[in-house]
Amino acid sequence: MGCLPCFGSSGKGEPAKKGGARKDVPSDRRATGVGSDKPKPQGLLDSKDAVIPREGNNQHIAAHTFTFRELAAATKNFRQDCLLGEGGFGRVYRGRLDNGQAVAVKQLDRNGLQGNREFLVEVLMLSLLHHDNLVNLIGYCADGDQRLLVYEYMPLGSLEDHLHGIHLKRNLLTGIHG
């Protein structure tokens, strides 16, 4: 018995089953990998478990790969009137793809510290995340030193607008003057 009975045996001095697996450990725990002491919930992926594509090999990423030229055309060459916002990681532009789909294109700061490998890991993780409360990643661009993320466009504004009351302020001003 281990230090805490609810966690079962420490495994010291216990014979192993044929094949080297301990008899007190469920088979799904044994499959989680070296150094893992508890099973991962289904559907969750740790970044160290991700299959990281090598340079030029993005076959494991489900998101669409765009060229810089395609995204420049979608955003009218990143014109100022298409700018939705700007933050610490770069600028976000409204755009329209060739198929007519409205998108938000996040152009990451080229002077940022994120390398190509880290960018592709981020794209891989974002392409695997799907939830009603999250904006879906449609694709990405990694042409030369350009790093862009393409998300579905949300016409009602950003979460920041809603949290900081920009819409509320507009409604209050309209109510006062209207």
Q: What residues are designated binding site for ATP?
A: 106
Residues 6+ apart with CB under 8 A from 167: 157, 161
* Closest C-alpha to 86, from 105, 73, 58, 114: 105
- Residue 90, φ and ψ in degrees, nearest 5: 145, -160
The secondary structure of the chain in percent helix, strand, coil, rounded to multiples of 5, reads 30, 20, 55
The Cα-based distances of 72 to 58, 94, 98, 148 in angstroms read 22, 11, 12, 11
Q: What is the C-alpha to C-alpha distance for residues 106 and 158, in angstroms, rounded to an integer?
A: 13
Binding residues: 106
Name the β-bridge partners of 152: 103
- Please count the residues of the chain: 178
Task: Give the burial class of 20: count Cβ atoms within 10 A of its Cβ; 0-12 exposed, 13-18 middle, 19 or more buried.
Answer: exposed
